[in-house]
Amino acid sequence: MPMPDNPAPSTGAVTGFIETIGSSSFFHDFGDVVARIAPYDGLLFFLYRPDAAPVLLSNSRLADKFQQGLDNYLDHTYLLNPVYQGFKAAIPSGVYLMKEILPDGYGELISAVEFEIEIDVKETIGYLTPGWPAHMEELMHLINLPDGSMVEVTVLRQRDLGFSPGEHAAMKQVFPVVSSVFHKHWELMNQDFSAHESRPSLDSSFNEFGAEVLTGREKEVVKLVLTGHSSQSISLRLGISLPTIKTHRRNIYTKLKIGSQAELFSLFIGFLTSRTGF
């Protein structure tokens, strides 16, 4: 179906978002308002918590045949996902396309993993979680909450249609309202979020990875590297010089008998899979 070239969030849409606050059908009602701005093929709400695997809060319009893809994502492939990596690296709240948050060297990382993914160069991230709908454009709203958790609202549409620049701009324009709505709903109806039990994150045991050979400082550096930080970012976060960070990285690679960041990621994923058995 043809999409409007330059939609803008109407006063009615803004009012509609506000009226969802406190609703017992919040996610359904919220999705109806989103559709006024950007009609979609699917709408997903995920919750990310520190040291926990993501949970699915709500799923709209995705057929049952994609349930296995959602399960696979929640079980393990979230570890690779740029949104999860962004959450771990304290990504600011905002509206993003997937291509805008891909970390440097991402192609090397996905080529090194040991669990099952379907390599597909047509996908923005270069692979597909088995069972996930193929060739979708994703427009993501990331909302950081006061308790350190983050909500991801992802609007999906077949890539042959995609999102127009106007739709993207309209969603960005209304994002402050969206963010405020989620904060207020979280405050009033926290059970909508806390009722979903979180499993421990597969990467919650960073201190155990390489513990037999790495120093405490080296483990800190490894954790930051694996959660998407550059050497410059690590230097700023830990308050030590960039040359020292580079020395730590060389020592880490030597001790773990690897030669690159991609190999580090692969080794870490292998460590996790050996502990969980998936």
Model confidence at 7: pLDDT above 60 = no
Of residues 81 and 199, more confidently modeled: 81
- Residue 43 CB-half CA count within 13 A: 16
For 11-194, CATH number?
3.30.450.80
Report how far residue 152's alpha carbon sits from residue 94's, in angstroms, rounded to the nearest whole number: 10
139-143, 190-194, 237-241, range with the lowest pLDDT: 190-194
> 110 with 116: CB under 8 angstroms?
no
Q: Could you tell me the residue ranges of all domains in the chain?
A: 11-194, 206-276
Report how far residue 245's alpha carbon sits from residue 251's, in angstroms, rounded to the nearest whole number: 10
The per-residue pLDDT for range 45-62, each reduced to its tens digit, is 999 998 788 999 999 887
Q: What angle do CA 81, 86, 87 make, to 5 degrees?
A: 100
| Cβ contacts of 208 within 8 Å, gap of 6 or more | none
Long-range contacts of 266-273 (CB under 8 A, 24+ apart): 266/112, 266/113, 266/114, 268/203, 268/209, 268/222, 268/226, 269/79, 269/112, 269/113, 269/114, 269/115, 270/114, 271/209, 272/79, 272/202, 272/203, 273/76, 273/114, 273/115
Q: Which stretches does DSSP call E strand in 36-117?
A: 42-48, 55-60, 94-97
Query: What is the predicted pLDDT for the residue at 227?
Result: 67
Of residues 117 and 111, more confidently modeled: 117
Query: What is the predicted pLDDT for the residue at 57?
Result: 93
Report how far residue 227's alpha carbon sits from residue 206's, in angstroms, rounded to the nearest whole number: 11
Q: How many residues does the chain have?
A: 278
Report how far residue 34's alpha carbon sits from residue 57's, in angstroms, rounded to the nearest whole number: 16
Model confidence at 152: pLDDT above 90 = yes
Q: Is 142 exposed, middle or buried (0-12, 13-18, 19+ CB in 10 A)?
A: buried
Of residues 108 and 245, more confidently modeled: 245
Entry pTM: 0.74
What is the percentage of the chain residues whose pLDDT exceeds 90? 42
Report how far residue 222's alpha carbon sits from residue 229's, in angstroms, rounded to the nearest whole number: 10
Same fold, 11-194 and 206-276: no
CATH architecture of 206-276: Orthogonal Bundle (1.10)
